A and B are shown apart, each in its own frame.
Chain A
Amino acid sequence: GAVVSQHPSRVICKSGTSVKIECRSLDFQATTMFWYRQFPKQSLMLMATSNEGSKATYEQGVEKDKFLINHASLTLSTLTVTSAHPEDSSFYICSARPMTSGSSYNEQFFGPGTRLTVL
């Protein structure tokens, strides 16, 4: 099946530092990857859509200068949380949509998530 990995799985950092999270599709290519954030007992909230070779599309209210996204290849997207603050503490999850899913059934496969704690 389609496997997506994320690294690191958990990170604790000091306020003001930057954290980079990697999302990789291991057995398929993905032109599009998505970055979500999930706060406790809330749903997944899409932050941005990452497209290989072009700029990411950010959802309303998400600061693009704070959450830097780089989709370097068809199997790798990174999210960098710059100058992290305690309110950025959350569960960050990426997903990838296989290139071959050209039909209307656009399944996404999720990475295991990264739990970020900013002290």
Chain B
Amino acid sequence: RKEVEQDPGPFNVPEGATVAFNCTYSNSASQSFFWYRQDCRKEPKLLMSVYSSGNEDGRFTAQLNRASQYISLLIRDSKLSDSATYLCAVNIRGGYQKVTFGTGTKLQVIP
């Protein structure tokens, strides 16, 4: 089983729709969780950290479910500019605290 798994998509949604992605992780010792956005042929950019209590930033809501070992990202009122690949990332505390990335979920928002 992969350490971090995501549905690769693509998710094709109309403008204005709400879309949700899930990401599962295998290591129960995982401590920190992130969502990154990556545009084609560009570097990943941090979208938001995921806090235990869940957190919201504008149209984006991130949640963590430790019992089931998954994190989610909800995007409301999708914009064309939201089209990108969304990577989840998981960090296990200790050592050099490396972050493991999922393969990403591709989102295409359609006019």
Binding site for B on A (CB under 8 A): 32, 34, 42-44, 46, 49, 51, 57, 91, 93, 97, 104-113, 115
Q: List 14 A–B pairs whose Cβ atoms lie within 8 Å, in order of A's numbering.
A: A44-B87, A44-B101, A46-B99, A49-B98, A57-B96, A105-B49, A106-B97, A107-B46, A108-B46, A110-B43, A112-B42, A112-B43, A113-B42, A115-B41
Q: How many B residues face the partner with a CB closer than 8 A? A: 23
In the complex the two chains form, is B46's CB within 8 Å of A109's CB? Answer: yes
Let me know if B32 is at the binding interface, CB within 8 A. Answer: yes
Let me know if B31 is at the binding interface, CB within 8 A. Answer: yes
Q: Which residues of A contact B101 (CB under 8 A)?
A: 43-44
5 closest cross-chain pairs (CB), A and B: A43-B103, A110-B43, A49-B96, A44-B101, A113-B43
In the complex the two chains form, is A106's CB within 8 Å of B43's CB? Answer: no
Contacts A43-B87, A113-B42: A107 and B97 contacting too (C-beta < 8 A)? Answer: no
A28 to chain B, nearest CB (A): 14
Let me know if B93 is at the binding interface, CB within 8 A. Answer: yes
In the complex the two chains form, is A44's CB within 8 Å of B44's CB? Answer: yes
Interface centre among A49, A93, A104, A111 (most CB of B within 10 A): A104
Q: Which residues of A contact B34 (CB under 8 A)?
A: 107
Q: A42-B103, A43-B103, A97-B97 are in contact. List 17 more A-B contacts (CB 8 A).
A: A34-B99, A43-B87, A43-B101, A43-B104, A44-B101, A49-B96, A91-B41, A93-B44, A104-B91, A105-B32, A105-B51, A106-B91, A106-B97, A107-B34, A109-B46, A111-B43, A113-B43
In the complex the two chains form, is B97's CB within 8 Å of A46's CB? Answer: no
A69 to chain B, nearest CB (A): 13
What separation, in Å, do the CA atoms of A97 and B97 have in the docked complex?
10
Let me know if B100 is at the binding interface, CB within 8 A. Answer: yes
Q: Which residues of B contact A108 (CB under 8 A)?
A: 46, 99
Let me know if B45 is at the binding interface, CB within 8 A. Answer: yes
What separation, in Å, do the CA atoms of A106 and B103 have in the docked complex?
20
**Complex interface bits, B23-45 against A, C-beta within 8 A gives 1, otherwise 0:** 00000000110100000011111
